[in-house]
């Protein structure tokens, strides 16, 4: 495990550089948002396009994998919601937001950089599939359910329409659709275009890790430790365990993709989690959970990578 920890250390060093740069004022905190937008709207869509469309990519989307990963994530969300309601005795809307933190990974900013270091081409394909699941299933479901539970049921149709519109306009989803069209149609891509795509894709991993560190640096930490502990355990333990079970049980999942999928489930929640939670009054709680899970993941990810060869 220590050897794997040393292997992942450069990745967390990038996070630490981002953290120190913002915390010391060397990089203005306001610039992190722009860097995040560049990573999310340019680098990550290009990475997804490259993984699916280019002839030398690892392959197209696997429906069995997506079904298994989605089922594991939704099961985690359901159990997280039940735990928040029954054990922590939190309101319905808050319970859905806490459950979202347990079941939605930071696939682009942490999952892909770590997976690409250990799994090569399969990392990009699994990244494309997990991002598709998160942006079209788990994230919209949790936000709609939270709004409905929060007494906003009258606006449910409008909220569902806005969620659908956000999915259609999501650059990651658009990248998947375009890449599938190019791949299935057999459209040749010029070498110059492929080289440019690979250059942008190469920027994605270090930039994403720097953004995570900068985001953590400007994230306030509060004392809501019971809820923070629940979200942290749900995200770093329950989510990867349930995703692993589904990937192993659902037929048709390529064996080479199983450990990659488990790793993606084992990373912390998405960096915009506190932003999504703020309208429900949970900005500080979820921000604390983001910081704690990001720090703890330096150990838990190493543990997961140590156990994966035994599957």
Look at the chain and report how many structural domains it folds into: 1
Question: Residue 55 has what pLDDT?
Answer: 56
Query: Domain of 106: which CATH number?
Result: 1.20.1530.20
Structural domain for 50, as ranges: 2-301
Residue 310 forms part of a structural domain = no
Residue 291 forms part of a structural domain = yes
Alpha-carbon distance of 43 to 48, in angstroms, equals: 9
Question: Residue 241 has what pLDDT?
Answer: 97
Per-run averaged pLDDT (10 residues), the chain, 311 residues: 78 92 93 90 86 64 95 98 96 95 93 90 88 92 85 63 82 87 82 83 86 88 84 97 97 95 96 88 89 92 86 59
197 and 43 Cβ atoms separated by less than 8 Å:
no
Residue 164 forms part of a structural domain = yes
Residue 226 forms part of a structural domain = yes
Residue 111 forms part of a structural domain = yes
Question: Residue 57 has what pLDDT?
Answer: 45
Question: Residue 115 has what pLDDT?
Answer: 93
Residue 258 forms part of a structural domain = yes
Longest dimension (CA), the chain: 58
Q: Is 144 exposed, middle or buried (0-12, 13-18, 19+ CB in 10 A)?
A: middle
A 10 A CB-CB count for 296 gives: 15
Query: Side-chain half-sphere of 309: how many Cα atoms within 13 Å?
Result: 6
Residue 311 forms part of a structural domain = no
Question: Residue 311 has what pLDDT?
Answer: 59
């Amino acid at each position: 495990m220590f050897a794997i920890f040393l292997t992942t250390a450069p990745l967390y060093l990038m996070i630490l550089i981002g953290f120190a740069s913002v915390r010391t004022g060397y990089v203005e905190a306001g610039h992190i948002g722009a860097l995040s937008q560049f990573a999310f709207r340019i680098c990550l869509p290009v990475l997804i396009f490259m993984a699916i469309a280019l002839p030398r990519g690892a392959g197209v989307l696997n429906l069995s994998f997506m079904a298994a990963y989605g089922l594991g994530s939704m099961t985690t969300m359901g159990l997280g919601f039940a735990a928040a309601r029954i054990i922590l005795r939190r309101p319905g809307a808050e319970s859905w937001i806490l459950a979202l933190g347990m079941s939605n990974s930071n696939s682009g900013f942490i999952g892909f950089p770590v997976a690409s270091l250990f799994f090569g081409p399969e990392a990009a394909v699994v990244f494309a599939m997990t991002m598709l699941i998160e942006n079209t299933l788990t994230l919209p479901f949790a936000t709609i359910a939270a709004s409905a539970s929060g007494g906003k049921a009258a606006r449910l149709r409008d909220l569902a329409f806005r969620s659908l519109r956000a999915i259609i306009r999501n650059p990651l989803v658009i990248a998947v659709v375009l890449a599938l069209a190019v791949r299935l149609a057999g459209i040749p891509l010029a070498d110059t275009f492929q080289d440019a795509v690979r250059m942008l894709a190469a920027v994605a991993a270090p930039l994403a890790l720097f953004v995570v560190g900068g985001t953590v640096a400007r994230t306030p930490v509060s004392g809501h430790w019971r809820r923070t502990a629940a979200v942290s355990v749900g995200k770093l333990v329950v989510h990867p365990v349930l995703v692993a079970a589904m990937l192993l049980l659902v037929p048709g999942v390529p064996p080479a993709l199983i450990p990659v999928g488990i790793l993606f489930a084992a990373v912390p929640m998405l960096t915009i989690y506190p932003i999504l939670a703020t309208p429900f009054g949970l900005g500080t709680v979820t921000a604390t959970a983001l910081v704690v899970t990001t720090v703890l993941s330096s150990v838990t990810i190493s543990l997961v990578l140590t156990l994966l060869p035994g599957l």
